[in-house]
Structure 1
Amino acid sequence: MKPYTAAVIGVGKAGGGGKKGGGHAIGYLHGGAFRDNPRTTLAMAADINAENLECFRQKFEVPRGFADYREMLREAKPEIVSICTYVGLHRQMVEDCARAGVKGIFLEKPIVASPADLVAVDEVVRQTGVKIVVAHIRRYFPAFLRLRELYQNGTVGQPMLCAAGIQDWDLSEWGSHWLDMFRHFHNDQPVKWVFGQMRVRQLRGYGHAMEDHGCAYFEFEGGGKGFVDGGRGMAGPWTMTLVGTEGTLRLQHEHLVVIETARGRSVEDYAKDQVKCYERAWC
């Protein structure tokens, strides 16, 4: 089978950027995935920063580079595109890619900046048939898969609450990972209601306003709830906590699973598996 021609829009800064400051090299992860997958050929890239684009092309030996992604779509006609720009640009880029005949889009999170943008993206998907994938790869990490299994199989009774705090981060960028995981733990059931509150002042990052502190509280149709605190961590060393009617599950450093029930306490370590899984997830 002939490999798909792939492209990256928004290659990022070589070496990455500061926390919340933007300029991260997320495009390099996508570039490496295309390079290492025998079913894709990284044939082109687009970025408005000429220096960043040249560094990316040299790193991955990309034959064609464009300052304007629209020109790339018209002239080179890629089959798969990774959109790695700031969220405010996503909707237009998705629409342009879809209408240019792109078959598949890897879209970095957060996927869009508003509910209206989401409606527009949904419409262009229905019109063109383009496939869109968001890189929520933690769904495939062993520790998270184990948490989901234990939370759903009755080990801690009936699922009640998933909770996490994200110290010095926000709900849209990093928080989107935990929001997705809580959906995953509840079998992607629809959300019945949402309460939210944010304090937004002068903080800016990734091309948009960011909250100094924000909280989201919501309930799934099955009855389980979720709580994510953006900006403040929870007490203790835990990455997240899952509470059932008969016990508690805790995750530490994304690889240690702690199980606490009336039967006792046990710890499972998936550190070695996590490293291998993270490498495979981008290939």
Structure 2
Amino acid sequence: MHRAGIVGLGKIAAMYEKPGSPYPYCHAGGILQSEKVELTAVAEMSDQATANFRGIWGREFPDLRYYASSIDMLHLEQLDIASICVRGPHHFKVFMEAVQAGVRSIFLEKPPSCSLSEMDNMLHTAKQKHIPITVSYSRHWHPSLIKMQELVQAGLVGKVHTVVSYSGGAVLSYASHATDMICQFAGAGSSAYSVKATGSVPNTDVPQGYEPEPRLDRMVIEFDNGVTGLQIGQHGEHGEFYCQVFGSEGSIKAGMYTEPVFFNKKGEVQELSAYQMPEQASVFLKAYDQISDYLAGGSLPHCTNEAFVTVHEIGFAAIESIHSGQAIRLPNERRHRKIFANS
């Protein structure tokens, strides 16, 4: 069993679900279901948050050790996996603490950083220590989305030319899930090279040195393999957090909260049962098992290193485009713009 510790006991760490949920959408629930990872410690500054966690999850983790300081937990527990679930502006500090403590892998909540320069620093530091960074763009571990991605890559809809995703909202903290789905289906090895976005910048107070996080209305992403990605907010047939993939021989719909659908070239619905569609499972269970498999000598988990970098680069390019009104070429030249991304 690999030893995991969670820093921050907010919603995504533990409060979106309760024990007994069949597909828990939270870190604690995924670890609880895993036969490869054990939760050995948690760190949280808020006494109330710690008490809430104990009340809900304490019986499930009777031997868990509780810390009020992340640095104490990281240095005392000899963790294999550090799960960083604090708010975005604190990611960089806790991340550096984890690297210095000698953890073997880092599972970082999104958005991974509040600036691209922070991300560059994190990647450089982790590479020196041979520590992989996996970011929780959670659609990467949804069983039906993974299966549909595999089928599209195998030619189910022919040559892909357009991927449309639906979800607006805060660019880095919310809409990034839909951006990630576009990248998943754009094609293996493809690289985004241009981003044009529209949106709005809220008139909100943020700490000195930060800018408010813009809200995305729509975005166009151009990839070097000829695929165009379109993100058009929450105006789809199924609301948000799903995508449509259009190819030369058909199309699909896929998402975390919608059943996958395959259409042939004539627009007729085709049966997917012949493709051995997987059963539902917690995305966090899948993620933690992949990280454990890597630590045991397997391949890198999904959404690790370069995979999450692409999504984050696109997000910051969208922010630059919202401010400038221009298409932004990747990689971004402006890497020190600091956004109060507070997911």
TM over 0.5: yes
Cα distance change on mapping 1:69 and 1:263 into 2, 3 Å: closer
Q: Which residue of 1 aligns with 2:254?
A: 251
Q: Which moved more, 1:31-40 or 1:187-196?
A: 31-40
Structure 2 counterpart of 1:247, which letter?
G
Cα distance change on mapping 1:64 and 1:263 into 2, 3 Å: closer
Q: Where in structure 2 are there 5+ consecutive unaligned residues?
A: 18-23, 290-343
- 2:281 aligned to 265, 276, 283, which one? 276
Matched, 1:88 2:101: no
The 5 A counterparts of 1:1-283 are 3-12=1-10, 15-16=15-16, 29-57=26-54, 58-59=58-59, 60-166=61-167, 169-185=169-185, 186-202=187-203, 209-229=212-232, 232-237=233-238, 239-251=242-254, 253-262=257-266, 264-266=268-270, 268=272, 273-276=278-281, 278=283, 280-281=285-286
SS of structure 2 residue aligned to 1:174: coil
Return the alpha-carbon distance in structure 1 between the equivalents of residues 269 and 34 of structure 2: 41
Return the alpha-carbon distance in structure 2 between the equivalents of residues 178 and 44 of structure 1: 32
Return the alpha-carbon distance in structure 2 between the equivalents of residues 93 and 15 of structure 1: 21
Given that residues 254 and 261 in structure 2 are in contact (C-alpha distance below 8 angstroms), is that contact kept between their aligned partners in structure 1? yes
In the alignment of these two chains, the number of paired residues is 267
Q: Which residue of 2 aligns with 1:21?
A: none
Q: Which moved more, 1:118-127 or 1:253-262?
A: 253-262
SS of structure 2 residue aligned to 1:251: strand
SS of structure 2 residue aligned to 1:148: helix
Return the alpha-carbon distance in structure 1 between the equivalents of residues 144 and 109 of structure 2: 23
Deviation at residue 77 of structure 1 after TM alignment? 3.6
Return the alpha-carbon distance in structure 2 between the equivalents of residues 31 and 141 of structure 1: 17
Return the alpha-carbon distance in structure 2 between the equivalents of residues 210 and 244 of structure 1: 34
SS of structure 1 residue aligned to 2:167: strand
Deviation at residue 49 of structure 1 after TM alignment? 0.8
Deviation at residue 50 of structure 1 after TM alignment? 0.8
Deviation at residue 274 of structure 1 after TM alignment? 4.8
SS of structure 2 residue aligned to 1:201: coil
Cα distance change on mapping 1:160 and 1:55 into 2, 3 Å: same
Return the alpha-carbon distance in structure 1 between the equivalents of residues 214 and 80 of structure 2: 36
Return the alpha-carbon distance in structure 1 between the equivalents of residues 104 and 261 of structure 2: 39
Given that residues 16 and 25 in structure 2 are in contact (C-alpha distance below 8 angstroms), is that contact kept between their aligned partners in structure 1? no
Return the alpha-carbon distance in structure 1 between the equivalents of residues 131 and 269 of structure 2: 47
Return the alpha-carbon distance in structure 2 between the equivalents of residues 44 and 268 of structure 1: 42
Given that residues 255 and 274 in structure 1 are in contact (C-alpha distance below 8 angstroms), is that contact kept between their aligned partners in structure 2? no
Q: Which residue of 1 aligns with 2:325?
A: none
Given that residues 142 and 273 in structure 1 are in contact (C-alpha distance below 8 angstroms), is that contact kept between their aligned partners in structure 2? yes
**Higher normalized strand content (fraction of residues):** 1
What whole-Å deviation, never above 9, does each CA across 1:207-246 have from its counterpart, x for those lacking one? 98443433332122211111223xx323433732112234
Q: Which is bigger in relative contact order (C-alpha 8 A, separation at least 6)?
A: 2
SS of structure 2 residue aligned to 1:276: coil
SS of structure 1 residue aligned to 2:170: coil
Structure 1 counterpart of 2:228, which letter?
K
Return the alpha-carbon distance in structure 1 between the equivalents of residues 213 and 46 of structure 2: 24
Deviation at residue 51 of structure 1 after TM alignment? 1.7
Return the alpha-carbon distance in structure 2 between the equivalents of residues 246 and 84 of structure 1: 42
Cα distance change on mapping 1:196 and 1:131 into 2, 3 Å: same
Q: Where in structure 1 are there 5+ consecutive unaligned residues?
A: 18-26
What whole-Å deviation, never above 9, does each CA across 1:5-46 have from its counterpart, x for those lacking one? 3211001156459xxxxxxxxx98222333443443322111
